[in-house]
């Protein structure tokens, strides 16, 4: 074993610290030595992933290693505990970080972005926060890293420094901060006041402590307090975040930040409320409807977006609610499906964003209507895009099929007709906004831009830089691989619900 010399506790601590150490290295190298700086980023990502991966075996074996970092309030520590769901999230975030770093190097250099050191440093803090969320052993720890993630990604969203970026940043920060401080903080304190603990416990801590309308209100505070899960109407920060450079949209706003949101939702429902408790109390059925509504409404909005990244953003809003819907079905099998969907969507959506960034880098095109015939010029990018799109729709042989299968099974088992209806309708809508893009790219002829267009000179483009293409091919293959080998995420999902 690579990390055999570390004790479990040290390994867990280091998983959160390693990205930060990498960040310091990156800061130290700065603009003076860009190659070394990028090498430091990449090395940190690889080491972090290796470290996280080394913990998988034990978790699958039933161990729940835990370590206290410091005592913030009397009786309340900041604690890291590795459990199945968190392990999966940490694996996804740190694993895709490697791919994303490769992609970033290609993208940021090709587009001559400024402030690259700040960019990489903030990225490392964000990843550290994501792993902190994943391994949070109690709600306080989760809240802490959740806020760190919001703040560290703000400079990434406003990276361009344009008035548009600043406006986007305000919406981003405004919604995420007001929901977390206004609602989530309140929910956390409420929970602490009635239960005297904030630990994530199997079976939940709230059973028998709260009921009726109060339970519904508390659930409301949690679900909308976790703004990162983008339940409507607190989803607007996500499209606003699309002003960021594409690597940020890809890893953070398709994977780390949004998955932190739905991850927190699953964690709160499973470990704070408890599935059995919620099954007996019917006061939270509304969650199913809100999630269903978000899935459909976001898909309809996505249909009407011409900007590719905005279309992908609304698709993310819709896909996130799949996870919430699956969890709200409250059947163990659908919760396992929710966990699988976190993994499946991560691979699919990062591929789609990588492709969008690749198109922007090579052709300087951002709108769907400009993409006629682009598949012939950028075959790798667009085939990868197609694979990502298939996974979003849920067509084999892609990962999205597996997760939808599990969610549907759960819905059938519990007889949730509404959930089934939503899944079927949204599958059609997904096809409706993804397939036309693929069709345009491969079956229509390119429309040259008028001479007056400053980007017309890019019309005769080829593929994006090699680092970009490599990254997106890798994640596209990953989307397919996850269909054939879904064992790890499924095993972790089953371990979560004790199946």
Partner 1 sequence: MSGAEMTSDPWLILLVIVPLLAAPVCVLLRSATGAWSVATAVAWSVFAISLKLLDTVMDQGVVRYRIGGWDAPWGIEYRLDSVGVFVVLIVSAIAAVILPYAKRSVEKEIRKDRIYLFYAMLLLCLTGLLGITVTGDAFNLFVFLEISSLSSYVLISLGTDRRALTAAFRYLIMGTLGATFYIIGVGLLYQTTGTLNIADLKTIMPAVIDTRTVHAALAFLTVGISLKLALFPLHMWLPNAYTFAPGAVTAFLASTATKVSAYILLRIIFTLFGDVDLFASFPLQPILITMALAAMFLASLSAIWQENVKRMMAYSSIAQIGYIVLGIAMATETGLTGGIIHMFNHALIKGSAFMAIGAVVFSTGAVTLTQMEGIGKRMPYTMAAFVIAGLGLIGVPLTPGFISKWQLVTAAMELNMWPLAALILLSSLLAVIYVWRVFEVAYLRPAPEGAPAAQEVPLSMLLPIWVMVLAALYFGSNATFTLNLAHTAALQLMGGL
CB of 130 to partner 1, least distance (A): 16
Cα-based distances in Å from 206 to 192, 218, 471 = 10, 11, 44
CB 342 within 8 A of CB 254: no
CB 139 within 8 A of CB 272: yes
CB of 405 to partner 1, least distance (A): 39
173 lies in the binding site for partner 1 (CB under 8 A): yes
Q: Which of 320, 303, 296, 313 is nearest to 253 (CA)?
A: 313
**Residue whose CB is less far from partner 1, 181 or 466:** 181
Q: What distance in Å separates the CA atoms of residue 134 and residue 259, rounded to the nearest whole number?
A: 10
Contact with partner 1 (CB under 8 A): which of 161, 196, 203, 233?
161
Contact with partner 1 (CB under 8 A): which of 177, 412, 420, 470?
177
Stretch of 177-185, 234-242, 280-288, 359-367 contacting partner 1, by CB under 8 A? 177-185
The binding track of 235-274 with respect to partner 1, each residue x by CB under 8 A or -, is ----------------------------------------
198 lies in the binding site for partner 1 (CB under 8 A): no
Q: What distance in Å separates the CA atoms of residue 316 and residue 327, rounded to the nearest whole number?
A: 17
Instruction: Indicate the SS3 state at residue 8.
Output: helix
**Residue whose CB is less far from partner 1, 172 or 277:** 172
Footprint of partner 1 on 44-103 (CB under 8 A): 70-74, 78
Q: What distance in Å separates the CA atoms of residue 384 and residue 295, rounded to the nearest whole number?
A: 24
Token pair of 94 as six digits: 């740190």
Footprint of partner 1 on 362-381 (CB under 8 A): none
Non-local (6+) Cβ contacts of 475 within 8 A are 96, 99, 347, 350, 351, 354, 384, 388
CB of 145 to partner 1, least distance (A): 9
Q: Which of 104, 132, 100, 102 is nearest to 117 (CA)?
A: 104
Judging by beta carbons within 10 Å of its beta carbon (0-12, 13-18, 19+), is residue 1 exposed, middle or buried?
exposed
**Residue whose CB is less far from partner 1, 50 or 177:** 177
CB of 467 to partner 1, least distance (A): 28
CB of 490 to partner 1, least distance (A): 34
Q: Which of 24, 22, 12 is nearest to 46 (CA)?
A: 22
**Residue whose CB is less far from partner 1, 176 or 281:** 176
170 lies in the binding site for partner 1 (CB under 8 A): yes
Dihedral (Cα; 36, 38, 42, 47), 10-degree rounding: 50
CB of 163 to partner 1, least distance (A): 9
Strand ranges for 161-266 from DSSP E = none
Terminal Cα distance for the chain, rounded: 29
Q: What phi and psi, each to the nearest 5 degrees, are found at residue 234?
A: -100, 35
Token pair of 334 as six digits: 């659908």
CB of 92 to partner 1, least distance (A): 24
CB 158 within 8 A of CB 166: yes
Footprint of partner 1 on 15-44 (CB under 8 A): none
CB 59 within 8 A of CB 11: no
Stretch of 183-191, 396-404, 413-421, 450-458 contacting partner 1, by CB under 8 A? 183-191
CB of 245 to partner 1, least distance (A): 15
CB of 79 to partner 1, least distance (A): 13
CB 128 within 8 A of CB 120: no
CB of 23 to partner 1, least distance (A): 14
CB 87 within 8 A of CB 59: yes
H/E element holding 68?
A: strand 66-73
114 lies in the binding site for partner 1 (CB under 8 A): no
CB of 272 to partner 1, least distance (A): 17
Stretch of 121-129, 179-187, 252-260, 482-490 contacting partner 1, by CB under 8 A? 179-187
The binding track of 317-356 with respect to partner 1, each residue x by CB under 8 A or -, is ----------------------------------------
395 lies in the binding site for partner 1 (CB under 8 A): no
Contact with partner 1 (CB under 8 A): which of 86, 95, 155, 292?
155
Stretch of 12-20, 157-165, 286-294, 295-303 contacting partner 1, by CB under 8 A? 157-165
SS3 content of the chain, % helix, strand, coil (to 5): 75, 5, 20
Footprint of partner 1 on 128-147 (CB under 8 A): 140, 143-144, 147
CB 236 within 8 A of CB 171: yes
Token pair of 297 as six digits: 């409404």
Contact with partner 1 (CB under 8 A): which of 185, 418, 442, 458?
185
Q: What distance in Å separates the CA atoms of residue 133 and residue 146, rounded to the nearest whole number?
A: 6
**Residue whose CB is less far from partner 1, 185 or 439:** 185
**Residue whose CB is less far from partner 1, 104 or 180:** 180
Q: What is the contact surface with partner 1 in residues (CB under 8 A)?
A: 70-74, 78, 140, 143-144, 147-148, 151, 155, 158, 161, 165-166, 169-170, 173-174, 177-178, 181-182, 185-186, 189-190, 192-193
């Amino acid at each position: 074993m690579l990390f055999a010399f570390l004790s479990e506790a040290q390994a867990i601590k280091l998983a959160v610290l390693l990205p930060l150490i990498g960040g310091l290295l990156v800061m130290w190298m700065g603009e003076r030595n860009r190659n070394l700086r990028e090498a430091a980023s990449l090395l940190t990502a690889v080491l972090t992933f290796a470290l996280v991966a080394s913990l998988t075996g034990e978790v699958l074996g039933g161990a729940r290693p835990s370590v206290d970092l410091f005592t913030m309030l009397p009786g309340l520590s900041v604690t890291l505990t590795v459990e199945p769901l968190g392990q999966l999230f940490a694996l996804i975030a740190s694993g895709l970080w490697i791919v994303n770093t490769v992609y970033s190097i290609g993208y940021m250099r090709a587009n001559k972005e400024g402030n690259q050191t700040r960019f990489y440093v903030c990225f490392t803090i964000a990843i550290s926060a994501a792993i902190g969320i994943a391994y949070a052993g109690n709600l306080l720890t989760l809240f802490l890293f959740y806020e760190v993630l919001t703040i560290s990604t703000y400079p990434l969203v406003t990276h361009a420094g344009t008035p548009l970026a600043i406006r986007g940043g305000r919406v981003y920060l405004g919604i995420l901060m007001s929901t977390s401080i206004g609602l989530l903080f309140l929910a956390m304190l409420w929970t602490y006041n009635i239960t005297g603990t904030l630990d994530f416990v199997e079976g939940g801590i709230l059973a028998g402590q709260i009921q009726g309308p109060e339970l519904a209100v508390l659930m409301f505070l949690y679900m909308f307090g976790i703004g990162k899960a983008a339940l409507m109407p607190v989803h607007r920060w996500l499209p606003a975040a699309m002003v960021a450079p594409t690597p940020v949209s890809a890893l953070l706003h398709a994977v780390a930040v949004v998955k932190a949101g739905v991850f927190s939702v699953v964690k709160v429902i499973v470990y704070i409320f408890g599935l059995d408790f919620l099954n007996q109390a019917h006061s939270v059925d509304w969650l199913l409807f809100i999630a269903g509504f978000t899935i459909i409404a976001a898909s309809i909005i996505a249909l009407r977006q011409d900007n590719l990244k905005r279309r992908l953003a609304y698709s993310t809003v819709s896909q996130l609610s799949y996870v919430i819907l699956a969890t709200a079905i409250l059947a163990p099998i659908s919760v396992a499906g929710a966990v699988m969907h976190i993994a499946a969507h991560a691979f699919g959506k990062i591929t789609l964003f990588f492709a969008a960034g690749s198109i922007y880098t090579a052709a300087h095109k951002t709108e769907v209507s400009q993409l006629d015939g682009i598949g012939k010029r950028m075959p790798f990018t667009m085939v990868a895009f197609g694979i990502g799109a298939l996974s979003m729709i849920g067509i084999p042989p892609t990962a999205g099929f597996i997760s939808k299968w599990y969610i549907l099974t759960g819905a059938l088992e519990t007889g949730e007709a509404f959930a089934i209806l939503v899944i079927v309708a949204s599958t059609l809508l997904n096809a409706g906004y993804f397939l036309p893009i693929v069709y345009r790219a491969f079956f229509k002829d390119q429309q040259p831009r008028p001479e007056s267009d400053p980007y017309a000179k890019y019309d005769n483009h080829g593929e994006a830089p090699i680092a970009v293409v490599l990254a997106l091919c890798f994640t596209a293959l990953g989307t397919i691989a996850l269909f054939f080998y879904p064992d790890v995420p499924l095993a972790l999902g089953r371990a979560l619900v004790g199946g």
